[in-house]
Amino acid sequence: MRVATWNINSVGARLPRMLEWLEGAAPDVLCLQELKCTADAFPYEAVEALGYQVAAHGDGRWNGVAILSKVGLEDVVRGLEGGPEYEGVQETRAISATCGSVRVWSVYVPNGRELVHAHYAYKLEWLTALKAAVAFDAAGERPFAVLGDFNVAPTDKDVWDITLFEGATHVSEAERTALVELGKAGLEEVMPRALKYDVPFTFWDYRNLGFQKNKGMRIDLVMGNPAFNAAVKDSYVDREARRGKGTSDHAPVVVDLDL
């Protein structure tokens, strides 16, 4: 089984590139983030034509998540139970489903913006709620993983120049501690193998030739329970999907499982 995650940065704007990638990479399950559309506006027909079932959760704002599956889509849960609100709204940042023999979550962790911003406190609260919400599945014998854009670089090596991030989000001690705490729920990161570069970055800013100069960050993660991780045969970041025009500023993370 091939499972992948991709912050698509507007499924409407990236649809041609996404369909091309689905046909070429042929994942059995794809977790999407940052749909930037309502669930009703998701391009179901185009994706279903490729053999996928779709569960989407979006409100049209700067978030939205979905799960695409060729191996079944059952027990869909939209939203983060017990999750915090931001400005009076529980944002559409989490969805989970059972796809064949694997259960997955697609998550889009809040950005945090600045350390002094209310969005940063919201981010930490959201990660705490995520830990509580996934604990039951993480402890089970069924293969289970949380995939998505975590907006946290786990180590200093996961950004192109840590000196440029002093006092910034994504690398703060509290965010990284929250990621470690999520691991204590029974999850361990699946580390992609290095391809062109030593560190497999997953995000590059559109500005200032970020991708061409490899000024990237590794913030899109796959965290699996022991049953999931034991089945991992390969994992990599598909940099080619980031190359060229009309694509997301993130690249897909792909995990191949032997189940």
Instruction: Please report, for the chain, the start and end positions of each structural domain, with discontinuous segments joined by +.
Output: 2-257
Beta strand spans in the chain (E): 2-7, 29-33, 53-57, 65-69, 74-78, 94-99, 102-108, 144-149, 188-189, 203-204, 216-217, 220-224, 232-237, 253-257
pLDDT digit string (tens) for 209-237? 999 999 999 999 999 999 999 999 999 99
**pLDDT(254) > 90:** yes
In angstroms, the CA 179 to CA 189 distance is 10
In angstroms, the CA 213 to CA 166 distance is 21
3-class SS of residue 87: coil
pLDDT band at 133 (very low <50, low <70, confident <90, very high): very high
Residue-level pLDDT at 213: 96
Residue-level pLDDT at 54: 98
Average pLDDT, stretch 15-22?
98
pTM for the whole thing?
A: 0.98
Residue-level pLDDT at 196: 87
Q: Does domain 2-257 have CATH number 3.60.10.10?
A: yes
Question: How many other C-beta atoms can be found within 10 angstroms of the C-beta atom of residue 176?
Answer: 17
Q: Determine what percent of the chain is predicted with pLDDT higher than 70.
A: 100
Mean pLDDT of all residues belonging to the chain? 97
**Which uninterrupted H or E stretch holds 176?**
helix 173-183
Average pLDDT, stretch 103-132?
98
pLDDT band at 171 (very low <50, low <70, confident <90, very high): very high
**pLDDT(61) > 90:** no
In angstroms, the CA 110 to CA 124 distance is 9
